[in-house]
Structure 1
Amino acid sequence: MQRRPVQLLFPDGFLWGAATSAHQVEGGNVNSDWWRFEHTPGSPAGVSSGDGIDHLNRYREDFDLLASLGHTAHRLSVEWARIEPAPGEFSDAALAHYRRVLEALRERGLRSFVTLHHFTLPAWFADRGGWLGPDALAVFDRYCARVLAALGDLVDFVCTINEPQMVALHGYLEGYHPPGVTNAVLWKRVGRVLLEAHHRAVATTRAHADAAPGLVVQLPVLAPAREDAVTRRYRDELRAEIVDLYLDALRPGAGGDWLGVQYYRKNWVDPASPTIFAPPPPGFATTQLGWAVYADGLREVLVRAARTGLPLYVTENGIATEDDAERVDYLEAHLGAVLDAIGDGVDVRGYLHWSAFDNFEWAEGYRPRFGLIAVDRAAGFRREPKPSAYAFQRVAESGDLSRLRATGVAVA
């Protein structure tokens, strides 16, 4: 049964915002492995990201809109494939573009969470073996150093790598992200390479910027599909690889200055399933993607993440649904779970919703609707805030969860 928060007020200084990633919103990321994956016949990604939602050109008006909706922070990524389109060849124009983007955030009073690697790779890097290439860590470190030297003075929080365990799981075991591999050995190796890449990026951030570096990890709640020893053991092994490996490697100072927690669902693990996971049991509400809605799971993973000793930010959390009333319910339940965690003594300092806009959702294309703001791509990319955006605004501006369903305008 879902617990209700003891109190409804978030701490003073709590950051509120939403998240995007470059490939999902900018459009035209033609030099990336993902663009190629989308355009490969038979690929699990059957839809092109195309023009995205044209955020590449509309970022100023988008930031105006987010600021008007009470956001005080924003998470975005810089696109490696634009910045380094060929090995060792850095685009001054791309770096200048991202300086303008970050300046626009600062002008609007939005704190910046900047992700250095959010799923996509330059095609040339992928061709050299990607994260399994012999010089992958050195090449990534070179890219990080160049970005932070150029942009670091405008960055508040550096997100080194987005969901390293999901890069490994989706790309090297499940095979529905690039490079489309299904290998029970390689996915574990990639996860460890990415963990080392994070540690190197922390050191590089400290050398080139005053920004606070941190890792962002997706932490699902994992349950056995059946209560037999084999299934429980398989669940434990999977949890060790996609949760414990990363959290146990982090500590204040060496692991970064903070930790980003990303939470979407509860998964039932099944060793007999070709997809690793079983469908949710009857009685669970599910999203457009068939994910089980389990709000108390956010409290559970925040409590687990707190063992690192790092301050926590929820850097992604949201629901894919066409029914925005479900999104309002989801927000109320999951923000309540954050308050429950804070009531348990967990140091949570901000909440960034996934996502700011309806956008490209990787192998699922444009069908899933995660956004607080709708985008009509057939009508000039027109933006339209949903009722959930205004519900979120009321909480962000007041710090009071009880304001979520209040009528009228938000009250600061």
Structure 2
Amino acid sequence: MTIKKFPKGFLWGAATSAPQTEGHSLQNGKSKTTWDYWYEKAPEKFNERQGPANTSNLYEMYTEDCKRMQEVGLNSYRTSISWARLLPDGQRVNQEAVTFYRDYFKKIKENGVAPIINLFHFDMPMWLMEKGGWEVRESVSAFAFYGKTAFELFGDLVTDWTTFNEPIVHVEMGYLYGYHYPAVTDFKKAVQVGYHTLLAHAAAVKEFRAVLPKGKIGIILNITPTYTRSASSADQKAGEASDLLNTKSFLDPAVHGKIPQALIDLLAKHQLTPQTQAEDAELLKNTVDFIGLNYYHPRRVQAPQNPTLPAQTPEDLYEPYDWPKKRINPYRGWEIYPEALYDVAMMMKNEYNNLPWFVSENGMGVADEERFMDEKGMIQDDYRIEFMIEHLNYLHKGIEDGSNCFGYHTWTFVDCWSWLNGYRNRYGFYRVDLEDHYKRSLKKSGLWFKQVSQNNGYDV
């Protein structure tokens, strides 16, 4: 037996978000988010009508959960602040929220865990959505004010921050594919939403530099490498469009401080150029200290067969390609392709100045995990352990080849609520029993992860 060792100080952790764990969704001074509003209007859209009201009840159980972090060997942990909880109307600070978050962050640290705190995880406050949300320029200054407020209130406890989790998701799901509120399909609106989100990120980074000059700030992106069907010029062109829209749109400005010219040209060609202001280019020069990259599955594309031009949807630029050799997680319908983590590592090394980065999410969602429960009540989730080992093997190879990766975070620590999917698929190191007061119980993967963290590596 030999051990694959990782760099000294490597972060072994887990990730989650406020709306997916806290509960108390409309209590303790918190105002509505788009999720609260949508569940109120259309509960039938949500798996088993599992809404955002209680989720995993962390608001009441965080003290015990912070101890559980130590029990599975976490040395770092990413979660988010709820904008609608901290600033219920966008201006007024909710003091109860301040008390809650300060105690939560203190208890994370007391258990030997470093908090990485994110500002936005798909949870748009309804007061801003009623004004147009990310479609309107006001969202940029509103988010910057929120960020400044959070940095001032919690900067003595938290040194590592991120602005957004997977910003491309609220663009795609809300304005292209209809899965998240407001569930519209409008490519031009989607581009404007993405542009304002990008400006909001840069504005928050600018505020961070003024408030916490000694801290570090990044952004969390779901980077799904694009693999083309073939080397044909048409397929390669489709792959380039996919990378521009899905990867370079946020990663290039975050690291290089500007939107790639090829993306500007592509949007102009298809009459999708967003409304801009002269000072925007200067604002985008506020770059990050590190990048978090979420990875679950690759993106495989081919040239579109019958595109509408100018493009009305991304599928007019590239179509999904069904690779016949794929392995699939049948519960999510996602391809399992751990090799991509090596490609991500090399991309960061070769194209993004070898900026420090970490795997900010990687995990396997499985339904009906009770099938794998032993006689003592522990879920024997060997499939999750195998999934992590496969991905860590390729990550380790990338690090050995010089990529500046400093951590690996799984999704997730405690089973959490997952938007329209509710609790259909479980990801956690701890099972949450929704029928028994949100009781937590450790899974086998948690024991394995503790050994990995303690050894800073694993047996091969």
TM-score (structure 2 length as normaliser): 0.81
- Offset, 1:119: 0.8
Choose the corresponding residue for 1:268, options 295, 300, 307. Answer: 300
Shift of 1:190: 1.8
Matched, 1:312 2:357: yes
2:64 to 58, 61, 65: 61
- The question of 1:23 aligning with 2:19 is answered yes
The answer (yes or no) to whether the contact 1:313–1:350 under 8 Å persists in 2 is yes
For 2:244, the equivalent position in structure 1 comes to 240
Determine if contact 1:116/1:161 at 8 Å carries over to the other structure: yes
Query: What residue in structure 2 maps to residue 11 of structure 1?
Result: 7
Q: Deviations over 1:307-342 (max 9, x none)?
A: 322101111111112462210110101111210110
Q: CA deviation at 1:282?
A: 5.0
Summarize the alignment of residues 7-406 of structure 1 with structure 2, pairs less than 5 Å apart: 8-30=4-26, 31-41=32-42, 44-46=45-47, 47=49, 48-209=51-212, 210-224=214-228, 230-251=234-255, 254-269=286-301, 271=304, 277=320, 281-306=324-349, 307-309=351-353, 310-321=355-366, 322=369, 324-402=381-459
22-31 vs 344-353, greater mean Cα deviation = 22-31
Q: Is the deviation greater in 282-291 or in 266-275? A: 266-275
SS at match of 1:128: coil
Tell me, in whole angstroms, the C-alpha distance in 2 between the residues paired with 1:68 and 1:39.
37
Instruction: Confirm or deny: 8 A CA contact 1:162 1:216 kept in the other structure.
Output: yes
Size of the alignment, in residue pairs? 398
C-alpha separation between the residues in 1 aligned to 2:43 and 2:79?
30
CA distance in 2, matches of 1:346, 1:170: 31
Across the aligned residues of Structure 1 and Structure 2, the Cα RMSD in angstroms comes to 2.3
Alpha-carbon distance, 1:236 to partner: 2.2
Cα deviation for residue 251 of structure 1 reads 3.1
For 2:187, what is the secondary structure of its paired residue? coil
TM-score normalised by structure 1 residue count:
0.90
Per-residue deviation at 1:378? Answer: 0.6
Deviation readout 1:85-136 (Å, 9 max, x if unpaired)? 1132221111221111111111112111000111101111111111112311
Aligned partner of residue 182 in structure 1, secondary structure: coil
Aligned-partner Cα distance in 1 for 2:155–2:148: 9
1:47-105, Cα deviation, whole Å (9 max, x unpaired): 31331111111111111011121111110100001111113222111122111111111
User: Which range is displaced more, 144-153 or 182-191?
Assistant: 182-191
The alpha-carbon distance between structure 1 residues 36 and 227, as it changes in their structure 2 partners (threshold 3 A), is farther
Report the Cα distance in structure 1 between the residues aligned to 2:345 and 2:39, rounded to whole angstroms: 34
Shift of 1:301: 1.4
For the 8 Å contact 1:313–1:351, the answer to whether it is kept is: yes
Larger Rg: 2
Deviation at 1:44, TM superposition (A): 4.6
- What is the CA–CA distance in structure 1 between the aligned matches of 2:215 and 2:356, rounded to whole Å? 15
The separation in 2 between residues aligned to 1:280 and 1:62, in whole angstroms, is: 41
Unmatched 5+ residue regions in structure 1?
1-5, 404-412
Unaligned 5+ segments in structure 2 are: 27-31, 257-284, 307-312, 373-380
Give 1:250 shift: 3.0
Q: 1:27-60 CA deviation, whole Å, 9 max, x = no partner?
A: 1323111121233328754531331111111111
CA contact (8 A) 2:415 2:427 kept: yes
Q: Is the 8 A contact 1:261 1:302 kept in 2?
A: no
Q: 1:366 to 1:278 in 2, by over 3 A?
A: farther
Compute the displacement of 1:174 (Å): 1.4
C-alpha distance in structure 1 between counterparts of 2:321 and 2:415, whole Å? 27
1:250 and 1:294 mapped to 2: Cα distance?
A: 26
Measured in 2, the distance between the counterparts of 1:72 and 1:272 equals 49
The one-letter amino acid paired with 1:236 is E
Compute the displacement of 1:229 (Å): 5.1
